Amino acid sequence: MNVVPAQPAPPAGAVGATGLIGIGLTIAAMACFATLDTATKYVSVGVPVLMALWFRYAFQAVATTLVVLPLRGLAGLRTAHPKFQVLRGALLLASSLFAFLSLKFMPVGEFTAIVMLTPLAITLLATRALGERVTLGQWALVCGGFAGTLVIIRPGHEAFEWTTLLPLGLVVCNAWFQVLTSKLAKTEDPITMHLYTGWVGTVAASLPLPWVWAKLPGTALWGALMLMGAAATVGHFMLILAYKRAPAATLTPYLYAQIGFAMLGGWLVFAHVPDGWSVLGMAMIAVCGVVGAWLALRRPNRAAPPALSRSKSAAT
Protein backbone atom coordinates (compact mmCIF):
# COMPACT_ATOMS: atom_id res chain seq x y z
CA MET A 1 0.00 0.00 0.00
CA ASN A 2 1.34 3.81 -0.46
CA VAL A 3 2.16 6.67 1.76
CA VAL A 4 1.97 10.20 0.48
CA PRO A 5 1.96 13.26 2.74
CA ALA A 6 -1.36 15.03 3.04
CA GLN A 7 -1.65 17.59 0.28
CA PRO A 8 -3.64 20.84 0.24
CA ALA A 9 -6.92 19.84 -1.35
CA PRO A 10 -10.45 21.11 -1.80
CA PRO A 11 -12.83 20.64 1.13
CA ALA A 12 -14.28 17.16 1.49
CA GLY A 13 -17.64 17.72 -0.09
CA ALA A 14 -19.12 17.17 -3.48
CA VAL A 15 -16.70 15.65 -5.95
CA GLY A 16 -16.19 17.93 -8.95
CA ALA A 17 -14.28 17.34 -12.16
CA THR A 18 -10.94 17.81 -10.40
CA GLY A 19 -11.98 15.35 -7.72
CA LEU A 20 -12.94 12.80 -10.35
CA ILE A 21 -9.48 13.15 -11.87
CA GLY A 22 -8.03 12.53 -8.41
CA ILE A 23 -10.13 9.39 -8.03
CA GLY A 24 -9.02 8.17 -11.46
CA LEU A 25 -5.37 8.80 -10.60
CA THR A 26 -5.82 6.91 -7.32
CA ILE A 27 -7.31 3.86 -9.04
CA ALA A 28 -4.50 3.95 -11.62
CA ALA A 29 -1.96 4.16 -8.79
CA MET A 30 -3.53 1.12 -7.14
CA ALA A 31 -3.16 -0.80 -10.41
CA CYS A 32 0.53 0.20 -10.45
CA PHE A 33 1.05 -0.97 -6.88
CA ALA A 34 -0.69 -4.29 -7.57
CA THR A 35 1.60 -4.67 -10.59
CA LEU A 36 4.56 -3.92 -8.33
CA ASP A 37 3.50 -6.64 -5.88
CA THR A 38 2.86 -9.17 -8.63
CA ALA A 39 6.25 -8.45 -10.24
CA THR A 40 7.90 -8.67 -6.82
CA LYS A 41 6.46 -12.12 -6.23
CA TYR A 42 7.60 -13.19 -9.69
CA VAL A 43 11.22 -12.07 -9.16
CA SER A 44 11.34 -13.48 -5.61
CA VAL A 45 11.72 -16.96 -7.09
CA GLY A 46 14.96 -16.27 -8.99
CA VAL A 47 16.40 -13.03 -7.56
CA PRO A 48 17.94 -12.60 -4.09
CA VAL A 49 15.65 -10.47 -1.93
CA LEU A 50 18.27 -7.81 -1.13
CA MET A 51 19.25 -7.52 -4.80
CA ALA A 52 15.63 -7.00 -5.83
CA LEU A 53 15.18 -4.51 -3.00
CA TRP A 54 18.20 -2.50 -4.19
CA PHE A 55 16.93 -2.45 -7.78
CA ARG A 56 13.48 -1.23 -6.70
CA TYR A 57 14.92 1.74 -4.76
CA ALA A 58 17.70 2.54 -7.23
CA PHE A 59 15.18 2.79 -10.06
CA GLN A 60 12.97 5.16 -8.04
CA ALA A 61 15.89 7.27 -6.82
CA VAL A 62 17.42 7.76 -10.28
CA ALA A 63 14.09 8.33 -12.04
CA THR A 64 12.89 10.83 -9.43
CA THR A 65 16.20 12.69 -9.46
CA LEU A 66 16.20 12.98 -13.26
CA VAL A 67 12.72 14.52 -13.13
CA VAL A 68 13.05 16.76 -10.06
CA LEU A 69 16.57 18.21 -10.26
CA PRO A 70 16.14 19.87 -13.70
CA LEU A 71 12.96 21.53 -12.39
CA ARG A 72 14.06 22.52 -8.88
CA GLY A 73 17.81 22.16 -8.79
CA LEU A 74 19.47 21.56 -5.42
CA ALA A 75 16.55 23.32 -3.74
CA GLY A 76 14.72 20.02 -4.09
CA LEU A 77 17.08 18.53 -1.51
CA ARG A 78 16.61 21.19 1.18
CA THR A 79 15.13 19.85 4.40
CA ALA A 80 14.86 21.14 7.94
CA HIS A 81 14.86 17.62 9.39
CA PRO A 82 17.57 15.47 7.76
CA LYS A 83 17.60 12.97 10.65
CA PHE A 84 13.86 12.40 10.38
CA GLN A 85 14.18 12.06 6.60
CA VAL A 86 16.75 9.29 7.12
CA LEU A 87 14.58 7.60 9.75
CA ARG A 88 11.57 7.81 7.44
CA GLY A 89 13.56 6.26 4.61
CA ALA A 90 14.79 3.47 6.91
CA LEU A 91 11.23 2.69 8.02
CA LEU A 92 10.07 2.44 4.43
CA LEU A 93 13.04 0.22 3.57
CA ALA A 94 12.12 -2.08 6.46
CA SER A 95 8.52 -2.12 5.19
CA SER A 96 9.75 -3.07 1.72
CA LEU A 97 11.92 -5.85 3.14
CA PHE A 98 8.91 -7.33 4.96
CA ALA A 99 6.89 -6.98 1.75
CA PHE A 100 9.47 -8.77 -0.39
CA LEU A 101 9.83 -11.60 2.13
CA SER A 102 6.05 -11.90 2.50
CA LEU A 103 5.44 -12.11 -1.22
CA LYS A 104 8.04 -14.86 -1.48
CA PHE A 105 5.72 -17.09 0.56
CA MET A 106 2.20 -15.65 0.19
CA PRO A 107 -0.32 -15.11 -2.62
CA VAL A 108 -0.53 -11.49 -3.80
CA GLY A 109 -4.21 -10.96 -2.98
CA GLU A 110 -4.06 -12.19 0.62
CA PHE A 111 -0.84 -10.25 1.24
CA THR A 112 -2.36 -7.02 -0.09
CA ALA A 113 -5.48 -7.40 2.05
CA ILE A 114 -3.45 -7.82 5.26
CA VAL A 115 -1.27 -4.81 4.44
CA MET A 116 -4.44 -2.76 3.97
CA LEU A 117 -4.72 -2.94 7.76
CA THR A 118 -2.19 -0.11 7.89
CA PRO A 119 -4.69 2.80 7.88
CA LEU A 120 -6.59 1.10 10.71
CA ALA A 121 -3.40 0.27 12.61
CA ILE A 122 -2.40 3.93 12.67
CA THR A 123 -5.51 4.56 14.74
CA LEU A 124 -3.74 2.68 17.55
CA LEU A 125 -0.78 5.06 17.28
CA ALA A 126 -2.82 8.23 16.81
CA THR A 127 -3.84 8.40 20.46
CA ARG A 128 -0.22 8.73 21.67
CA ALA A 129 2.01 9.85 18.84
CA LEU A 130 -0.30 12.47 17.32
CA GLY A 131 -2.67 13.22 20.20
CA GLU A 132 -5.71 12.27 18.13
CA ARG A 133 -9.02 11.45 19.76
CA VAL A 134 -10.12 8.00 18.58
CA THR A 135 -13.83 7.26 18.81
CA LEU A 136 -15.47 4.02 19.89
CA GLY A 137 -16.55 3.45 16.29
CA GLN A 138 -12.96 3.72 15.08
CA TRP A 139 -11.82 1.20 17.69
CA ALA A 140 -14.58 -1.14 16.47
CA LEU A 141 -13.29 -0.78 12.89
CA VAL A 142 -9.75 -1.62 14.03
CA CYS A 143 -11.04 -4.76 15.75
CA GLY A 144 -13.08 -5.67 12.67
CA GLY A 145 -10.07 -5.26 10.38
CA PHE A 146 -7.90 -7.37 12.69
CA ALA A 147 -10.61 -10.05 12.76
CA GLY A 148 -10.49 -10.08 8.95
CA THR A 149 -6.74 -10.64 9.14
CA LEU A 150 -7.24 -13.60 11.48
CA VAL A 151 -9.74 -15.08 9.00
CA ILE A 152 -7.08 -14.88 6.26
CA ILE A 153 -4.19 -16.15 8.40
CA ARG A 154 -6.26 -18.69 10.37
CA PRO A 155 -3.83 -19.50 13.23
CA GLY A 156 -4.12 -23.13 14.24
CA HIS A 157 -5.35 -24.18 10.81
CA GLU A 158 -3.38 -27.00 9.22
CA ALA A 159 -2.36 -24.69 6.36
CA PHE A 160 -1.03 -22.02 8.74
CA GLU A 161 2.70 -21.21 8.51
CA TRP A 162 4.72 -18.64 10.44
CA THR A 163 5.53 -16.83 7.18
CA THR A 164 1.90 -15.63 7.01
CA LEU A 165 2.76 -13.35 9.96
CA LEU A 166 5.39 -11.43 7.95
CA PRO A 167 2.92 -8.84 6.57
CA LEU A 168 2.14 -7.81 10.15
CA GLY A 169 5.76 -6.65 10.47
CA LEU A 170 5.18 -4.52 7.40
CA VAL A 171 2.02 -3.07 8.95
CA VAL A 172 3.92 -2.02 12.09
CA CYS A 173 6.82 -0.41 10.18
CA ASN A 174 4.45 1.22 7.74
CA ALA A 175 2.26 2.62 10.51
CA TRP A 176 5.24 4.33 12.15
CA PHE A 177 6.37 5.51 8.71
CA GLN A 178 3.01 7.19 8.19
CA VAL A 179 2.98 8.79 11.64
CA LEU A 180 6.40 10.31 10.91
CA THR A 181 5.16 11.36 7.47
CA SER A 182 2.24 13.16 9.11
CA LYS A 183 4.63 15.15 11.28
CA LEU A 184 7.07 16.00 8.47
CA ALA A 185 4.29 16.94 6.04
CA LYS A 186 3.62 20.09 8.08
CA THR A 187 6.96 21.63 7.08
CA GLU A 188 8.50 19.47 4.32
CA ASP A 189 7.94 19.44 0.55
CA PRO A 190 6.46 16.05 -0.51
CA ILE A 191 8.77 15.92 -3.54
CA THR A 192 11.78 16.39 -1.26
CA MET A 193 10.50 13.61 0.98
CA HIS A 194 10.08 11.38 -2.05
CA LEU A 195 13.67 12.07 -3.14
CA TYR A 196 15.11 11.26 0.27
CA THR A 197 13.01 8.11 0.54
CA GLY A 198 14.45 6.75 -2.69
CA TRP A 199 18.06 7.61 -1.94
CA VAL A 200 18.06 6.45 1.69
CA GLY A 201 16.70 3.09 0.55
CA THR A 202 19.22 2.89 -2.29
CA VAL A 203 22.25 3.67 -0.11
CA ALA A 204 21.19 1.28 2.66
CA ALA A 205 20.41 -1.54 0.22
CA SER A 206 23.74 -0.99 -1.55
CA LEU A 207 25.78 -1.97 1.52
CA PRO A 208 25.19 -5.77 1.26
CA LEU A 209 24.90 -5.71 -2.55
CA PRO A 210 28.40 -7.09 -3.35
CA TRP A 211 27.62 -10.21 -1.29
CA VAL A 212 24.14 -10.86 -2.67
CA TRP A 213 24.50 -9.95 -6.35
CA ALA A 214 23.68 -12.89 -8.61
CA LYS A 215 23.76 -13.47 -12.35
CA LEU A 216 20.21 -13.75 -13.59
CA PRO A 217 19.22 -16.48 -16.06
CA GLY A 218 17.64 -14.97 -19.17
CA THR A 219 15.99 -11.60 -19.70
CA ALA A 220 12.57 -12.28 -18.15
CA LEU A 221 13.76 -11.53 -14.60
CA TRP A 222 15.50 -8.33 -15.73
CA GLY A 223 12.27 -7.27 -17.41
CA ALA A 224 10.32 -8.00 -14.23
CA LEU A 225 12.80 -5.93 -12.20
CA MET A 226 12.37 -3.02 -14.62
CA LEU A 227 8.60 -3.37 -14.39
CA MET A 228 8.83 -3.44 -10.60
CA GLY A 229 10.84 -0.20 -10.45
CA ALA A 230 8.66 1.56 -13.03
CA ALA A 231 5.40 0.53 -11.33
CA ALA A 232 6.60 1.80 -7.94
CA THR A 233 7.85 5.12 -9.33
CA VAL A 234 4.81 5.86 -11.51
CA GLY A 235 2.38 4.74 -8.80
CA HIS A 236 3.86 7.08 -6.20
CA PHE A 237 3.79 10.04 -8.59
CA MET A 238 0.17 9.32 -9.49
CA LEU A 239 -0.82 9.23 -5.84
CA ILE A 240 0.94 12.54 -5.18
CA LEU A 241 -1.02 14.08 -8.08
CA ALA A 242 -4.25 12.53 -6.78
CA TYR A 243 -3.85 14.03 -3.30
CA LYS A 244 -3.36 17.45 -4.88
CA ARG A 245 -6.76 17.16 -6.55
CA ALA A 246 -9.01 15.66 -3.89
CA PRO A 247 -9.21 15.34 -0.09
CA ALA A 248 -7.60 12.28 1.44
CA ALA A 249 -10.89 11.15 2.98
CA THR A 250 -12.49 11.19 -0.49
CA LEU A 251 -9.71 9.08 -2.01
CA THR A 252 -9.21 6.54 0.78
CA PRO A 253 -12.09 4.17 -0.20
CA TYR A 254 -10.56 3.81 -3.66
CA LEU A 255 -7.25 2.63 -2.19
CA TYR A 256 -8.94 -0.70 -1.51
CA ALA A 257 -9.23 -1.26 -5.26
CA GLN A 258 -5.67 -2.55 -4.88
CA ILE A 259 -7.05 -5.75 -3.36
CA GLY A 260 -9.06 -6.43 -6.51
CA PHE A 261 -6.12 -5.64 -8.79
CA ALA A 262 -3.87 -7.87 -6.66
CA MET A 263 -6.31 -10.78 -6.90
CA LEU A 264 -6.43 -10.27 -10.68
CA GLY A 265 -2.63 -10.24 -10.91
CA GLY A 266 -2.35 -13.37 -8.78
CA TRP A 267 -4.85 -15.14 -11.02
CA LEU A 268 -3.32 -14.04 -14.34
CA VAL A 269 0.32 -14.69 -13.44
CA PHE A 270 0.18 -17.46 -10.82
CA ALA A 271 -3.27 -19.00 -11.44
CA HIS A 272 -4.08 -18.43 -7.77
CA VAL A 273 -7.71 -18.06 -6.69
CA PRO A 274 -8.31 -17.21 -2.99
CA ASP A 275 -10.53 -19.64 -1.09
CA GLY A 276 -13.83 -18.59 0.45
CA TRP A 277 -12.38 -17.80 3.89
CA SER A 278 -9.67 -15.59 2.39
CA VAL A 279 -12.24 -13.69 0.34
CA LEU A 280 -14.32 -13.18 3.49
CA GLY A 281 -11.29 -11.82 5.37
CA MET A 282 -10.42 -9.48 2.48
CA ALA A 283 -13.99 -8.19 2.44
CA MET A 284 -13.95 -7.55 6.20
CA ILE A 285 -10.73 -5.52 5.96
CA ALA A 286 -11.97 -3.55 2.95
CA VAL A 287 -15.36 -2.79 4.50
CA CYS A 288 -13.80 -1.59 7.76
CA GLY A 289 -11.38 0.64 5.85
CA VAL A 290 -14.08 2.13 3.60
CA VAL A 291 -16.42 2.76 6.54
CA GLY A 292 -13.54 4.47 8.35
CA ALA A 293 -13.00 6.76 5.36
CA TRP A 294 -16.75 7.48 5.21
CA LEU A 295 -16.76 8.48 8.89
CA ALA A 296 -13.83 10.81 8.25
CA LEU A 297 -15.69 12.35 5.31
CA ARG A 298 -18.67 13.11 7.58
CA ARG A 299 -16.42 15.27 9.77
CA PRO A 300 -15.42 18.02 7.30
CA ASN A 301 -14.58 20.58 9.95
CA ARG A 302 -11.96 18.43 11.66
CA ALA A 303 -8.73 17.00 10.38
CA ALA A 304 -9.12 13.34 9.66
CA PRO A 305 -6.94 11.02 11.73
CA PRO A 306 -3.98 9.79 9.74
CA ALA A 307 -5.35 6.27 9.88
CA LEU A 308 -8.20 7.41 7.69
CA SER A 309 -6.19 9.80 5.54
CA ARG A 310 -3.47 7.81 3.86
CA SER A 311 -2.48 4.36 2.82
CA LYS A 312 0.63 2.74 1.53
CA SER A 313 1.39 0.49 -1.34
CA ALA A 314 1.83 -3.12 -0.46
CA ALA A 315 5.32 -3.70 -1.70
CA THR A 316 6.11 -0.05 -1.04
- Give, in order, the Cα–Cα distances in Å from 191 to each of 82, 99, 125: 14, 24, 25
Determine the Cα–Cα distance for residues 66 and 96; give it in Å rounded to an integer: 23
Radius of gyration of the chain (CA): 18
Q: Per-domain residue ranges for the chain? A: 17-308
Residue 264 CA to residue 30 CA, distance in Å, equals 12
122-133 pLDDT per residue, tens: 766 666 655 666
Q: Which residues of the chain have pLDDT under 50?
A: 1-14, 301-312
Q: Is 229 left (phi over 0), alpha (psi -120 to 50) or beta?
A: alpha
**Type of residue numbered 233:** T
Q: What is the pLDDT of residue 301?
A: 47
Residue pLDDT, tens place only, 159-177: 557 777 788 888 888 888 8
pLDDT at 235: 86
pLDDT score for 269 = 87
pLDDT for the residue numbered 87: 93
What gap in Å lies between CA 81 and CA 302, rounded to an integer?
Answer: 27
* Gap between the Cα atoms of 247 and 228, Å rounded: 28
CA distance 192 to 175: 20
Secondary structure (H, E, C), the chain: CCCCCCCCCCCCCCCCHHHHHHHHHHHHHHHHHHHHHHHHHHHCCCCCHHHHHHHHHHHHHHHHHHHHHHHHHHHHHCCCCHHHHHHHHHHHHHHHHHHHHHHHHCCHHHHHHHHCCHHHHHHHHHHHHCCCCCCHHHHHHHHHHHHHHHHHHCCCCCCCCHHHHHHHHHHHHHHHHHHHHHHHCCCCCHHHHHHHHHHHHHHHHHCCHHHHCCCCCCCHHHHHHHHHHHHHHHHHHHHHHHHCCCCHHHHHHHHCHHHHHHHHHHHHHHCCCCCHHHHHHHHHHHHHHHHHHHHHHCCCCCCCCHHHCCCCCCCC
Taking a C-beta distance cutoff of 8 angstroms, is the pair 28, 242 a contact? Answer: no
**Is the CA virtual torsion 185, 53, 241, 250 positive or negative?**
negative
The per-residue pLDDT for 206 is 94
What's the pTM value of the predicted model, to 2 decimals? 0.76
What's residue 133's pLDDT?
67
Q: What is the pLDDT of residue 9?
A: 45
